[in-house]
Amino acid sequence: MQDRQGQMRDRLLDLHRYGLIRVEVSGHSVGQINGLAVVSDGFQSVGRPSRVTAVTYAGSHGPLNIEREVEMSGPIHSKGVLILSGYLHDRFARDFPLSFGASVVFEQTYTPIEGDSASTAELFAILSSLSGLPARQDIGVTGSVDQRGRVLPVGGVNEKIEGFFEVCRAHALTGTQGVVIPESNVRNLVLGEDVLEAIAQGRFFIWPISTVEEGVELILGEPAGTPTEPDDDAAAFRYPERTVYGRVERRIARLRQLATPPRG
């Protein structure tokens, strides 16, 4: 039955294999994450990896959802992007405006986007861009996030894992590839035998996470950073310099200075 109804799956794989849908499954890139979605033709649901990219710059509006601006974003997806603003304020801008601009987009998507399961991927892309640290491209990411940074369960987790596995296998498994999922979704896993075999052989991995910081350290390769309460000096930083959040905090401070009009 799967073979008879697998035409959409095979077409998507061919598009990935021949580079018509661009998804990198090895190396590193700043501001780019492999987000995982599910598409359906009415008979079969298939996981489809998509590049999520973020560009950050001096400004004042915070994360800008390009899909929402062109009316391709459903209300739940738009809500997820707004939640990211709350998380960024909580971590980096409790006592002053979050003075930076960011554009976030799903590359090569031409249909409306709904759901908040890409929230973690979008957040990781923003943090990579702000910190300047390149993100691993051999990892696919799914998961919703709340304003406190807790990673929440999502739907279609099996299809998303299998979809990313198929794309990685089409380009050749490297032994480092895998998928980040919410820890609360582990109980929902019912994967195909080929995926289970690759996991057992150490050629593919599943990393369950319960907080954003766990994913940050895996994908960006540095400690997220433990905050300390600064002195009364408003210019003091909360995070150590050589951490992901320390880099983000200092970049936001520079962008805030650029966005502040000179006095006099």
The 3-state DSSP class for residue 231 equals coil
Q: Rounded to whole angstroms, how far apart are CA atoms 217 and 157? A: 22
Candidate list 117, 119, 131, 144, residue with the active-site label: 117
Beta-bridge partners for 141: 35, 180
Q: How many angstroms from the chain centroid is the CA of residue 157?
A: 15
Q: Among all chains, which residue has been given the structure tokens 């805030």?
A: 256
Mean pLDDT of 90-103: 80
Clarify whether 79 is annotated catalytic.
no
Q: What are φ and ψ of residue 216, in 5° steps?
A: -55, -45
Residue 24 has pLDDT above 90, yes or no: no
| Residue 241: other Cβ atoms inside 10 A | 10
Higher pLDDT, 238 or 180: 180
CA–CA dist 234, 261 (Å, integer): 19
CA distance 118 to 142: 6
Average model confidence (pLDDT) across the chain: 82
Overall average pLDDT of the 221-226 stretch: 95
Is residue 142 a contact partner of residue 35, using CB atoms and an 8 Å limit?
A: yes
For residue 240, pLDDT beyond 60: yes
CA dist 118 → 216, 221, 259 (Å): 15, 21, 29
Average pLDDT over residues 156-183: 94
> Does 119 or 207 have the greater pLDDT score?
207
Which residue ranges form the domains of the chain, and what is each CATH number? 7-259 (3.30.230.10)
Please give the average per-residue pLDDT across 222-247, as a whole number.
83
CB atoms within 10 A of CB 99: 19
Pairing of strands 144-145, 151-152: antiparallel
Write out pLDDT tens, residues 26-52.
999 999 999 998 876 666 777 788 899
Ramachandran assignment for 125, one of left (phi > 0), alpha (psi -120 to 50 degrees), beta (any other): alpha
pLDDT-derived band at 203 (thresholds 50, 70, 90) equals very high
pLDDT for 34: 95
Backbone dihedral angles phi then psi of residue 78, each to the nearest 5 degrees: -60, -40
pLDDT band at 72 (very low <50, low <70, confident <90, very high): very low
- Please give the pLDDT value at position 44: 72
Give the pLDDT band of residue 83 (cuts 50, 70, 90).
Answer: confident
- Distance between CA 189 and CA 205 in Å, rounded? 13
